[in-house]
Structure 1
Amino acid sequence: MSGYSSYTIRVYWQAGRPRVERDSPARRIRKGLRVPEELRFRILGPVRGWLGDEELVLGPVKQRTVLAALLIAGGEPVPAYSLRGCLWDAPPANAAGLIQTYVSRLRAVVGRSTLLFDTGGYRLDIRPDQVDLLRFRSLRRQGGEVEADPAAVLAAAFAEVKGRPCEDLREAMRSHPLLMDVERELREAAIEYADCAQVDRAGEVARLLEWISLTAPLDERLFSRLIRTYALIGQQADALAAYARIRGRLRDELGVGPGQELSAAYHDTLAQSSLRHRPTSAARARRPVLVRRETDLSAIRKDLVRHRAVTVVGPPGVGKTAVARALLADDAAGADGDCRESFVSADGEGGIFVALADLPRERGDGRGSAEALAQAVLAALEGPGVLQYPVAALIRQLRERPLLLVMDAAEHLPLGCGGIVAKIAHRCPGTRVLVTSRRPLGYPGENVHEIRTLEVPPPNEVVDHAASFPAMELFLAVAGRSTGEVDLSGAARLCRELDGLPLALRLAASWPVSARLSGAVDLALAGLTASVSRGLDLLTGEQQSLFTQLATLDGEFSLDEAERFAGELGLGAADGAMLLADLVDHSLVQRAHGSEHRFRILRPIRRVARMYLTKDS
């Protein structure tokens, strides 16, 4: 059984007394009696090895580094000088003796007949099916065969990937050519996968490309596929954000502009702008799966009845859009016997959902953004195009058409959106407006409802009780698994690492190639990258500078610490307090639970910010 070692008990007599010996897989390896097909190794993730169901103890970092280099070589000899380059920047005088020591200890673990020495260097006598990287390579080759379904084969190949190559040895191996070659293989295979995958696999491919891009932030070929894949599944905002990221990096780090392939992907995405604002009728919308959001839904319903307009705010990935879509679907089904109060009169036409993420960022006093937003809503209402005075035209239409209007992702249009919402609430008594945004719009009398992350099991929680916490409920629901089918302790650690952020939990639960904690976290962070980076781009230079410093802190921090960082940046204490308040408004910094004077940054947002805002990123 998985997780248990198998033993053979041998009883014999020695010196007139009975002796008992347990013969385990590890003992058979030490004796050189291992069965070859029992050995398995993993390097696409942390370096690990098994003999049957028993995990091998591979030793300290440098010893595992030697094994990783031999596994990457796939059975080919690795010279001692190459191992020195993996182990040390400046090899010590006794480097040869140390390498022999590491090899000797590894032979005791994996078997004398497995780790060999010949004239070319050290090598492992292993078959391709014993190492995940070799299986990956074999499957990738099969994807190029004439009769193969390349997308299916490459999907199977990436199912072998449990994290970044040798992720527990990255500090030791640094930028060694062996490791860089493996990362290059993954990038090339991901590009091949993107080129052959159809739309049914595009969501999985997009998440994969985002993750791979963490190792290659300047790879234009990779980013061109990422942009096209996002566009294929209708996520033009994410596509444009990915383009903005690599364009900025190319300019800042290389002093060049985007190449032809990358520019073509960008312009092709812009050409799809006519598909941006497809109206979604509440009657046709499917209600998303929500966990423990009943209190939020009830509060927003009541506020919409009393105030006509509500702004739902919260950090990236907290589920603002899902809550809005659920309200739309509930309003459409409000008369179906569940006693929900409808927001519109009986002769109303339900609801309309308008995505605003693709509209240009607001400039100046917001007049231009208000007109662009009004045009988008008019298009969703399927009304005639209006070239002049679109805001007035929208107000006239809504006076005659009672409905629930949802405007999603309005954080980059606060002035324009705020002005339109205020006018609708004042002049269109039959219309209710729900806006999702990462920050309040700021118009007079705005009614704001904050969505918070889901509660996670505390570290000392009894494992059997962990599944009752909201974050665990969502993870299990998306994964489609019962409590008996998952490692509850590992899932609880995952929920804590992702701070109960719903989008991160959904990505970790649905990703098909990783069931391991750190691998699932990496892939969730990759999926969050586009969403978080859009929020970071909305900050001013001073706000970004302070946030970059705060993101270096682990855990909670005080106002005094924020002011100290502001002072180090050449800003005064008052400016530091104001900038911190701005970051709270942008939902990138949260107030700590139970304290008005302490703050925190959600772990996933902090880790993505470290990758994209620090100078060394």
Structure 2
Amino acid sequence: MKDEGKPRICFSLLGQVRAHQGDHEIDLGSPQQRAVAAALLLAQGRPLTVNDLVEAVWERPPNSPASVVRTYVWRLRNALEPGHPRSQPWRILRSVAGGYLLDADDDCVDWQAFQRHVGEARARRADGDHTAALLAYGRALALWQGDPLTSVPGPLADRERSRIQAQHLDVLEERLHLQVDAGHYAEAITGASALVEHHPLREGLHQVLMHALYRAGRQADALAVYRRVHRILDEELGIAPGPDLRALHARILRADRPAPAPPNPEAARRRTPIPRQLPHAAADFTGRVPQTERVHDALLRHPAHAMPIVLVTGMGGVGKTALVMHSVQSVLASYPDGQLHTDLRGAGGTPADPGSVLSAFLRALGLADSVIPDELDERAALYRTVLAQRRVLIVLDDAADMEQILPLLPGSPTCAVVVTSRNSLAPLPVSLRVTLRALPDDEALDLFTRLVGSARVAAEPQIARQVLASCGGLPLAIRVIGSRLAARPEWSLARLAERLADERHRLSGLPSGRHAHAAVGGVPAHRRSRRGPLPRRAGPGTEP
């Protein structure tokens, strides 16, 4: 729930690290103190430990670095909430289990707003709506006030500054290409000419400049750009231009310039649909912070030539799907061409046929049934071809084995795949493997409290832990019991504990279905089907 009394403070990272409340600028203190604030803001709502902050600020920490970090946190809190009553918890820079969290509104951090506008621009561009895409790119780029994290010291700032600048340059190049596609040749020529002076080895900028000059009727100038980049690459790196530049050069020499067709957003939308198939993420997802962070990083920070494949394994009911759906929410803007999702039913008696899954995926990507091949190999090849130039996130839930998965893997490094399975899938060439185990006691209690309410847990804390012990740390079992108890306000925790302790009531007094009974007993059930009542309770296709 939003804290209505919390001060609304906006933060800037795309330039000087600054904070404002209305027209008033808040002094964030020394460079190292600003580095702590920047690290918390870059975490985007994830808590950071004291050790995380020490590693972010110093390569060679001073004496007692933890004490110094706590001092910086104390000073930042007082700067952000001056006069805050000491008897009340802090509302902006909060203490959480194991660390600190800077609770800033998404629309009040310029770096997060930049990412949101870029995601919108890419989606509108994929839809063929050039005007809306250019406006969204403009909103994103207008947020920049100079070099990001200016004057902020520390290893984290150095890494993030380079990463953010690289994304900024990517977005500038994307907008230039879009300007050419939209017929705005003069703007594209001006922008690209300035950028190639600062980035003479970036072939994509020379390519968009050549393209804009050529489309504007300046064929000789376009060829001159090619001669220049050819000379620069040869002198600086000893290499020739890449295939895209060479192909454009050949087209210009042939004077092969088709007349551009006016954009038709509706036709483009019908021709290239954007699938959004992911089930909803659980609003009460609790814990799993390190695992969430690892999945997030694997999907965003990977070599350009390699497709990230993330595998999440663990016993039934341990929360594999819930972790995935929670983790991917923050990376969707990086996969603007959509998300594909399927339940492979690997733990049941009738695993999904990969050929049928491919057929459904191809239809979702805009292909008619008449062009989808009958043979599995041909269908998989067509699937890889369709995805070759798209940035799509594919979630393969509850996989049985490698034979089921392999036909569903794209061939392009622009895509990403997340797989969940009860099996280890050892041959799968993953970039990240996450093995989930039972929730720690404190996280299990947090989830249970969110389901039944803090008052009921506080009234019977020992009984609450007794009830949770019967769940074996499985989120599915905790959710079953917690939801049942929340629906019966007249029940006490003691009454529920008595029913759980009695074998006769375990099978008759709790939700029907073998999944619930086995999970509540602390022993994971063998999930034969995911169409039963428990998966529907948590959301279509979602394992709590």
Q: What TM-score range do you get, normalising by the shorter chain? A: 0.3 to 0.5
TM-score (norm 1): 0.34
- Greater RCO, CA 8 A, separation 6+: 2
**Which structure has the larger Rg?**
1
